[in-house]
Amino acid sequence: MTRFLPKRLDFWFFAKIVIFSLFGFFLIYPFVNMFIRGFTSTDGTFSLAYFQRFAEYKYYYQTLFRSLSVAVSTTFFAMLVGMPMAYAMSRYNLIGKRVINIMIIMSLMSPPFIGAYSWILLLGRSGVITKFFVGLGINMPSIYGYLGIILVFTLKLFPYIYLYVSGALGSIDSSLEEAAENLGSNKLRRLMTITFPVILPTILSGAIMVFMSALADFGTPMLIGEGYKVLPVLVYEEYMSEIGGNAGMASALSMIVIMVSMFVLLMQKRFVAKRKYTMSALRPPQIIKLRVIPKIVLSCLAFIVSLVAFLPQIVVVYTSFVKTSGPVFVAGYSLDSYRTIFYRLARNITNTFTFSTIAMFFIIIIGILVAYLMVRRPSKSSTVLDVFVMFPYVVPSAIMGISLLLAFNRRPLLLAGTSFIMIVAYAIRKMPYTVRSASAILQQIDPSIEDASINLGVSPIKTFFTVTSRLMLPGIISGAILSWISTINELGSSVMLYTGRTATISVAIYTEVIRNSFGTAAALASILTVATILSFIIFALISKGKVSVI
């Protein structure tokens, strides 16, 4: 019997068991359950009917092609914007780099779908800019549908490319490019034959982030897509129309989305693993000093791009102070929108911050333990744990919400509709940020520091809590803030899991926009934006300017 137990029956063994049980119960079981439902017909027998239906009807399968098309186009345009931005910002002496940089990061961190919402206000049927051009007798192309989705996604997601590529460009040792120059390469040749191939894996990682986000997001296409239905929207609608049914179609569709994401991620892993150049720039590349005119032109261009990306947040905050009369904005300013939300939607605000705080608590505790197990106790089971923790990262959060609902909507496991299930969804979905950041810092901590403490008479477990976690703190906090920012802005799983009592700010924004109550939506979105910016400032202070949000 004792043969089956590990040699060390210590705290970490029990921690591992507890964490495995939690992930097993709240992640693996729901997904396995969903998987089974995708293959089970209404009479409870095995069936491929849902997948057949998917393949047969254009209504279904075209959403997959649309999703892929949106994701591919978004990735393409994000690279088109992100790479030159990164190159210009890291190689030339542009003016106002800090401001540009902050605007870009902020647009990445912005609440989801406020991009869609703001662009509707600007370019929609009764948008400010549209009306302006109509007044001039010019008809604007419609923002609704494919074009709008791509526009919003590109502006929101190009920062991934920008951040990844700037990071890589900054870590190329300048001697590498100098060597190429020395061997007689001209600038363009050098860029194409040395710089580009070296940073290719990084570009690819950024592209994958863009691709996956574009594939998974459902708020934006829901608002701005109108007739152009993409896969996540279809999943949502199928689920909503099947409530009470067995949700087989929604499950099958979810499996398809997950399979696409996993496939893309595996491809990237294979490709990147093969050509990974580790570099630490001994001599970082030199900043090229441009002459005045080119410098001003290039700075303006970069500024405009980042401003356009940041625009939705300005629009949201601005419109939150504009007077409204029912669904329309009228002349003049007021705080009415805020009055309304504090009167009518105060609960959503407290929900968002309460749930996120509690989720944060669990994320930090479990995140530290998981990071420690992965870094200091590597084993097969730790690797499995790693996969469990990172899995939610590739699952669109709406789908995660559905899986939890399907798993816990019946006695004896009736958790649907509770705050608890929302907190669980947040904790699992947003854990990866904290785990990554905590393990990164733990890897920097010399294990003999822990040994020294034990050697001096402090028990291993007390050493972990007083020394190790104390030293991990900066990494944990910055990871936790990223988790936090992402949690307060979370829409997908919230929309699936909320009930009247547990609705959050993002759910309220969503429903207010659907009800054409733009003023209150703007006020709510402003609250999120401000909370996000504040959290981000704290994050930047804690990470001492070494900001890495990717």
Site residues (vs other proteins, CB under 8 A): 7, 446, 448-449, 451-460, 463, 467, 470-471
Owner of token pair 């998987």: 35
Q: How far apart are CA 500 and CA 511, in angstroms?
A: 11
- As measured in angstroms, the least distance from the Cβ of 464 to other proteins is 12
Q: Which is nearer to other proteins, 200 or 458 (CB)?
A: 458
Q: Which is nearer to other proteins, 102 or 471 (CB)?
A: 471
- As measured in angstroms, the least distance from the Cβ of 427 to other proteins is 28
Q: How far apart are CA 519 and CA 517, in angstroms?
A: 6
Q: How far apart are CA 232 and CA 397, in angstroms?
A: 10
- As measured in angstroms, the least distance from the Cβ of 456 to other proteins is 4
Which residue in 363, 367, 343 sits closest to 355, CA to CA?
363
- As measured in angstroms, the least distance from the Cβ of 450 to other proteins is 8
Q: Which is nearer to other proteins, 281 or 473 (CB)?
A: 473
Q: Which is nearer to other proteins, 18 or 461 (CB)?
A: 461
364 neighbors 476 (Cβ within 8 angstroms)? yes
Three-class secondary structure of residue 89 per DSSP: helix
Count Cβ atoms within 10 A of the Cβ of residue 474 and give its class: 0-12 exposed, 13-18 middle, 19 or more buried.
middle
- As measured in angstroms, the least distance from the Cβ of 369 to other proteins is 21
Q: Which is nearer to other proteins, 450 or 512 (CB)?
A: 450
Three-class secondary structure of residue 289 per DSSP: coil
Token reading at 96: 């106002």
Is the N-terminal amide bond of 412 cis, ω within 30° of 0? Answer: yes
Q: Which is nearer to other proteins, 9 or 99 (CB)?
A: 9
Q: Which is nearer to other proteins, 262 or 449 (CB)?
A: 449
Q: Which is nearer to other proteins, 289 or 470 (CB)?
A: 470
Q: How far apart are CA 169 and CA 146, in angstroms?
A: 33
- As measured in angstroms, the least distance from the Cβ of 441 to other proteins is 12
Q: Which is nearer to other proteins, 478 or 526 (CB)?
A: 478
Which residue in 321, 39, 75 sits closest to 208, CA to CA?
75
3-state SS track over 111-131: CCCHHHHHHHHHHCCCCHHHH
Owner of token pair 């109550």: 517
- As measured in angstroms, the least distance from the Cβ of 376 to other proteins is 13
CA-to-CA separations, 121 to 106, 128, 305, 491, 529, in angstroms, rounded:
20, 7, 19, 20, 17
Which residue in 4, 139, 11 sits closest to 463, CA to CA?
11
Residue type, 130: T
207 neighbors 161 (Cβ within 8 angstroms)? yes
Q: How far apart are CA 258 and CA 403, in angstroms?
A: 12
Q: Which is nearer to other proteins, 380 or 411 (CB)?
A: 380
Token reading at 383: 């690797």
- As measured in angstroms, the least distance from the Cβ of 474 to other proteins is 11
Q: Which is nearer to other proteins, 186 or 448 (CB)?
A: 448
23 neighbors 373 (Cβ within 8 angstroms)? no
Residue type, 318: Y
Q: Which is nearer to other proteins, 136 or 456 (CB)?
A: 456
- As measured in angstroms, the least distance from the Cβ of 18 to other proteins is 23
Owner of token pair 């899995």: 391
- As measured in angstroms, the least distance from the Cβ of 366 to other proteins is 24
- As measured in angstroms, the least distance from the Cβ of 446 to other proteins is 6
Q: How far apart are CA 323 and CA 331, in angstroms?
A: 6
| Cβ count within 10 A of residue 18 | 12
What's the first-to-final CA gap in the chain, in angstroms?
46
Token reading at 430: 């947003």
181 neighbors 132 (Cβ within 8 angstroms)? no
- As measured in angstroms, the least distance from the Cβ of 457 to other proteins is 4
Q: Which is nearer to other proteins, 43 or 446 (CB)?
A: 446
- As measured in angstroms, the least distance from the Cβ of 459 to other proteins is 5
Token reading at 390: 């990172």
